Structure 1
Amino acid sequence: MPLHIVWQAVADGDESLLSVPILDAELRLTMVGEIITDASWHVGGELTKALSPQAVRVQSYLLNPQQTELHLTLLSQGSAHGNAVWNALLAIPVGQVETYSGLAEKLSSGPRAIAGACRNNPYAGIIPCHRVVAKNGIGGFMGHVDGEFVALKHRLLEYERGLRLGRE
């Protein structure tokens, strides 16, 4: 797998923000030293133009995840159920989706609990909760059921679908 995550129990130090523009949105990584404590999407507003070397690495991975290796350290957080869901999200291949109910069945959970874990994912730009959809539609994204975030979910899925089709 090209994404390598090291889970860190504690993050001490000064907080900084790393912005990564992609698909008319910006992934904002909250960092404490080298440890990422949050990765959230932001839509609207002007995108960052000057990127740090680390932002370029993250952007390269997001644009071409099958061909780019990325090593990240994330702060370990969340419930045992949330962590089980987030690990399952990491197993969904680029360009594919899973339904909330399908994932719930695999994890012996309920679809609403899966949706809650996706909504509470502190690493939405890294742990791909956008790959989980409703049985009869796109579902929500980052706690929204319509608007700019759901439009971003559509863009992310379409982009990844294009990557998958390019490999077939």
Structure 2
Amino acid sequence: MPLHIVWQAVTDGEESILSVPLLGAELKLTMVGEIITDASWHVGCQLTNVLSPQAARVQSYLLNPLRTELHVTLLSHGSAYANAVWSALLAIPIGRVETYSGLAEKLGSGPRAIARACRNNPYAGIIPCHRVVAKNGIGGFMGQADGEFVALKRRLLEHERGLELTVE
């Protein structure tokens, strides 16, 4: 897997924000040193053209995750249950989707609990909660049932489906 995550329990230092423009939106990385403490999507904002080296690496990975390695350190957040859901999200292959109910069945949970863990994912730009959909439609994204974030979810899924996927 080209995404390598190291989980950090604590962080100390000054906070900074990195912007990663992608597909008409912006992924804002909140950093403390080299540790990402939040990675959330923002829409309807002024996109930046100047990228830091870290932001450029994240952008490169998101544009072509099958051919780009990304090493990140994330601040450990959430309950044991939320972390189990987020781990399951990382296992959904690029270009594929899973339903809330399908993921709930795999984890011995309920679809609403899965949706809540996805909504509370502090790393929505890195841990792919956009790959979880409703049985009869796209489902929500970033706490919205429709609107700009759901449109972004569609763009993310279309982008991933359009990648040249090779199965080894």
Aligned to 1:30: 30
Question: How many residues are matched?
Answer: 166
Deviation, 1:167, is 2.9
Q: 2:43 touches 2:149 (CA, 8 Å); kept in 1?
A: yes
Query: Aligned equivalents of 2:43 and 2:165: distance in 1?
Result: 29
Q: Give structure 1 stretches of 5+ with no counterpart.
A: none
Query: Aligned equivalents of 2:124 and 2:92: distance in 1?
Result: 14
Deviation, 1:41, is 0.1
Deviations 1:54-90 (A, max 9, x none): 1110000000000000000000010011000000000
Aligned to 2:135: 135
Q: Secondary structure at the match of 1:167?
A: coil
Q: Secondary structure at the match of 1:28?
A: strand
Query: Aligned equivalents of 1:77 and 1:135: distance in 2?
Result: 28
Deviations 1:80-101 (A, max 9, x none): 1100000000000000000000
The two structures, once aligned, show a CA RMSD in angstroms of 0.6
Q: How does 1:114-133 map to 2 (within 5 A)?
A: 114-133=114-133
Which amino acid letter does the alignment assign opposite residue 4 of structure 2?
Answer: H
Q: How does 1:3-152 map to 2 (within 5 A)?
A: 3-152=3-152
Q: Secondary structure at the match of 2:118?
A: helix
If the length of structure 2 is used for normalisation, what is the TM-score?
0.98
Deviations 1:83-127 (A, max 9, x none): 000000000000000000000000000000000000000000000
Query: Aligned equivalents of 1:167 and 1:90: distance in 2?
Result: 17
Q: Secondary structure at the match of 2:162?
A: helix
Aligned to 1:167: 165
Deviation, 1:32, is 0.5
Q: Secondary structure at the match of 2:47?
A: coil
Query: Aligned equivalents of 1:122 and 1:46: distance in 2?
Result: 22
Runs of at least 4 residues of structure 1 off by over 2 A?
none
Deviation, 1:17, is 0.1
> Are 2:150 and 1:153 aligned?
no
